[in-house]
Chains A and B, each alone.
Chain A
Amino acid sequence: MFNNLSYPELQAYWWIIISLLASVLVFMMFVQGGQTLLWQLGKTKKERSLITNSIGRKWDITFTVLVTFGGVFFASFPLFYSTSFGGAYWVWILILFSFIIQAVSYEYRTKANNFLGAKTYETFLLINGILATVLIGVVVGTFFTGSEFSVNKLNITHVSDPVISRWQTVTHGLEAVLNITNLALGLAVFFLARVLAMLYFINNIDHAEILKRSAKQLKLCSVAFLVFFLLFVGLVLTKDGFAVNPDTRVVFMEPYKYLHNLIEMPVVLILLLIGVVDVLYGIFLGAFKTSGKGIWFAGAGTIITVFSLLMLAGFNNTAFYPSTYDLQSSLTIHNTSSSKYTLTAMSWVSLLVPVVIAYIWITWKAMSKRKVSEEDIENDTMAY
């Protein structure tokens, strides 16, 4: 079946997979959101333990989604991997650094003789919660605003200076934080992660006080999320975008490009609207009905919304990783992708994705039959 797909169709298929993975990653960052709420919602040691044991059973999945997202991006669009990771060095290093300190914190926080003390590991979780959400949002923001880099494959023949992709700023990606559009998306992702975390707690923790505090905080964070999200969407839809001439592959600036994309791809417009409504309904269920179903609506809405935003960035003859330094160095799904053979081979492997989703779903359900409670943690010698 994949052998019959054309090269551009395979490239589009892999952009869809990348977008799906990125969307799931943003949803799963409710773990990071929860880490930023540790002290706000957990006033006692026991309450903080409840929170870490609730999200702690999911941190590894978020981590795996990130690693798989990286691996799949590398395999399907290697020029992006090479240009962005090697160029926006400091942003990626900060993101990765925060994930390193997160990975040990759940396991080590309450262990005896843990060298750094529980507070340090809780601070590590907070740092990861802030840096990962804000900076990943900022990086995705650059898909719409651009970065300063050049790409010249012939550099490989310059024996003394062979690097193909070159970043043009000394801050190597940190400059993206100063762009209002990028920052708006970064903060929107940050508050969304907190919103999702609180909806998850309402669904997963059996503790009246934490639920009460979650419902209260949920309203505040939802307002903040909406402000930054709408600011981002407003700025993107009214700005000039990075269009690609389909015949010549020349990149040029087109006024209201992303608005045009939305109009020219009505399916994406519908998806975006469904996603946003879904998120809002999920928030309503959690904040006003204290219903555990809120996380499922808001989670599905998050996945659909992020997915449609990435469709805007990569489809309809648009450069998904634009260069403001040299427009013609901008990356599109056509000039960055792996060969047809590799994309086809990988596509066969992608057929196993539903199997992966199925066993994640089964284990998630099996483990969530009973809410996490104080009694549950006290009786479990393996608890965090």
Chain B
Amino acid sequence: MEHFNLALVDWSRAQFALTAIYHWFFVPLTLGLSFIVAFMHTIYYKTGNEKWKQMTKFWMKLFGINFAIGVATGIILEFEFGTNWSNYSWIVGDIFGAPLAIEGLLAFFLESTFIAVMFFGWNRVSKKFHLLSSWFVAFGSNLSALWILIANAWMQNPVGTRFNPDTVRNEMTNFFDIALSPTAVFKFLHTVSQAYVIGALFVVAVSAWYLLKKRHLTFAKKSILIASVFGLTASLFVALTGDSSASNVAQTQPMKLAAMEGLYDGETNASLYALGFLNNEKNNTNFKGIRLRSMLSLLAFRNASAFVPGVNDILNGNKEQGILPAETRMEKGRIAIQSLADYKQAKKEWNIELASQKLQEFEENYPHFGYGYFTDKEAIVPPVKLTFYSFHTMVGLGLFFILFFAWLLYASMKDKVDKYKWILHLSVWSLLLGYIASELGWIVAEVGRQPWTIQDLLPVGISTSHLSVGSVQTTFFMFLVLFTVLLIAEIKIMLTQIIKGPEEGDSHV
């Protein structure tokens, strides 16, 4: 067991997870729909056809309803780094704050300035300026995703940084190492492309519902055609970037990869578990299902005979593979923590020789610093089953979306999309599957890296604020009630607008 206040850590964690999960209900649709609106707006600009204007306005209206609640849930996420993760804010603020500031400066202003023009500029600005505004909103939204994902990627793979014992924090040493790290690049591409899939699924679901109800037939067919091109391209890109992301995880977060694959004992020619169940026992041989031999080694390290470490290798060490046992790392971590305290004390007493000796000791052991806060090695294992099933379900759904959009595109091009009722029903329900896949992706990313806030350097338990558990419990329930009420309001408004359809001009009561 760790020493720190577990109740406070868990409630702070719960509050952040709650906010992030709610926020992520809305963001993918904003990212995806913004481009679809911009595409339609462009066609209207080029053709002058009023039907395209009507379509643009309809999807723009739905975009606006979703955007407002996305903004509402987003503001609290940013400030929760300070309110609930005060230690984290100081220890990594030198690195983590910069992407947030740049996000505000470069992306949010672009988005918020031009969104007013996009919505209210139909008769106030030139057609060209108006179209540009739609594109600026789409770029602004996606640019904001870039910077926050760079920040998140750095937490998973802390590059371009060094710990400064004098200021007692991590400091940035190379901005470009952080901004262009492969973890950041793959994370951004994978995340935004799956957001485009959600945007496409949303348009398909609404349009398929119209076709089922035999309403707005031309509008619905055109929308499905655009969305299926967009969705197929995006879902293929999701698969491609997902593969690169997983390979990156293998190199930077081996414990997360082991949890994603339910791999307890590492092996060469490691198998990929394609379909099946994990048994309760901590032994990979108890996996029941279809295995693809050597595939995991190939996908993780681009080498079919590569060794993939399992949970037990990381916990108990593997001399042959050069993996240190967790207990050794914990011991080295404790030395790092103590030598930091001794170094500061020696400096205070002007004992230069001792300070220099302790500094060297600290720097030698710093790569294990975070492990020093644990007393039980099992604490470094994330929830394996949750990570495993989330990952495999997400991958399965990802493959389904490729087939789904390919078929939809084929049917649209043959003008047969309204002939198959079952596929229209499936189209409506696929939106839900899209949201499930999207949230599962974040569960893999965030649950899989537990117990670390910053991989190997800062455990979640050390990152909190000095608050009472009661305060955090109160705000947790405040946000739970508020976000749920707002979500209900959003869904009701959205459904009402969809039922009214694109030909209803008046959106008001």
Using a CB–CB cutoff of 8 Å, the interface residues on chain A facing chain B are 57-58, 60-61, 63-64, 66-72, 74-76, 78-79, 81-87, 89-90, 92-93, 96-97, 99-101, 103-104, 106-108, 110-116, 118, 153-154, 156-157, 159-167, 170, 172, 338-339, 341-342, 345-346, 349-350, 352-353, 356, 359-360, 363, 366-367, 369-370, 379-383
Contact = CB atoms under 8 A, between A and B. Distances in A.
A103 B75 contact: yes
B89 A67 contact: no
A86 B101 contact: no
Interface of B: 3-4, 57, 60-61, 64-65, 67-69, 71-76, 78-79, 81-91, 93-98, 100-106, 108-117, 119-125, 129, 133, 164, 167-169, 171-173, 175, 337-338, 340-341, 344, 372-373, 462, 464-468, 471, 475, 478, 482, 485-486, 488-490, 492-493, 495-497, 500, 505-509
Contact of A111 (B65, B79, B468): B65
Interface centre among B64, B87, B115, B464 (most CB of A within 10 A): B87
B493 A82 contact: no
Given A71-B104, A353-B105, A159 B337 contact: yes
Given A75-B101, A157-B337, A342-B94, A97 B466 contact: no
Which 8 pairs across A and B sit closest by C-beta, in order of nearness?
A78-B93, A86-B86, A85-B82, A68-B104, A75-B97, A86-B465, A82-B89, A103-B72
A68 B109 contact: yes
Contacts of A339: 94, 164, 167, 171-172
Nearest to B374: A159
A72 B105 contact: yes
Contact of B120 (A67, A356, A382): A382
12 contacts: A60-B112, A61-B112, A67-B108, A74-B93, A82-B93, A86-B87, A96-B83, A112-B507, A338-B171, A349-B106, A367-B116, A383-B120
A79 B102 CA distance: 19
A104 B72 contact: yes
B107 to A, nearest CB: 9
Contacts of B72: 99-101, 103-104
A106 B68 CA distance: 9
Given A75-B98, A82-B86, A70 B69 contact: no
Given A86-B83, A92-B79, A160-B4, A345 B98 contact: yes
Given A115-B488, A115-B493, A381-B506, A104 B465 contact: no
A342 B344 contact: no
A161 B119 CA distance: 51
A89 B112 contact: no
Contacts of B486: 100, 104
Given A63-B75, A92-B79, A157 B341 contact: yes
Contacts of A380: 120, 122-123
Given A83-B86, A341-B171, A382 B57 contact: yes
Nearest to A335: B167
A60 B71 contact: yes
B184 to A, nearest CB: 16
Interface centre among B87, B98, B114, B486 (most CB of A within 10 A): B98
A111 B87 contact: no
B64 A107 contact: yes
Nearest to B119: A382
Contact of A86 (B76, B89, B341): B89
Given A61-B113, A64-B112, A106-B68, A164 B105 contact: no
A256 to B, nearest CB: 33
B113 A100 contact: no
Q: Is the interface of A mostly helix, strand, loop or mixed?
A: helix
B101 A346 contact: yes
B177 to A, nearest CB: 12
B79 A115 contact: no
B87 A114 contact: no
Contacts of A172: 467, 471
Contacts, number: 313
B493 A163 contact: no
A104 to B, nearest CB: 5
B116 A341 contact: no
A93 B82 CA distance: 11
A81 B98 CA distance: 13
A79 B90 contact: yes
Given A74-B101, A363-B113, A382-B60, 19 more contacts: A60-B71, A63-B71, A67-B104, A67-B108, A70-B78, A71-B101, A75-B97, A76-B101, A89-B465, A104-B69, A104-B490, A108-B68, A111-B493, A111-B497, A156-B337, A157-B340, A162-B462, A366-B129, A380-B120
Contact of B112 (A63, A70, A164, A341): A63
Contacts of A114: 489, 492-493, 509
Contacts of A113: 492-493, 495-496
Nearest to B74: A67
B105 to A, nearest CB: 6
Contacts of B112: 60-61, 63-64
Contacts of A160: 3-4
Given A339-B94, A339-B167, A346-B98, A100 B75 contact: yes
Given A72-B105, A75-B98, A93-B83, A341 B173 contact: yes
A154 B100 CA distance: 27
Nearest to B508: A110
B89 to A, nearest CB: 4
B471 to A, nearest CB: 6
A108 B493 contact: yes
Contact of B509 (A60, A111, A363): A111
A154 B167 CA distance: 10
A309 B202 CA distance: 49
Contact of B115 (A60, A97, A366, A383): A60
B97 A338 contact: yes
B87 A92 contact: no
Given A363-B117, A383-B120, A64 B109 contact: yes
B283 to A, nearest CB: 33
Contacts of A61: 109, 112-113, 116
Contact of A366 (B4, B68, B125): B125
Interface centre among A99, A165, A382 (most CB of B within 10 A): A382
Nearest to B339: A157
Interface centre among A57, A107, A349 (most CB of B within 10 A): A107
B336 to A, nearest CB: 10
A112 B509 contact: yes
Contact of B372 (A67, A92, A159, A164): A159
A91 B231 CA distance: 44
A172 B94 CA distance: 25
A96 B104 CA distance: 17
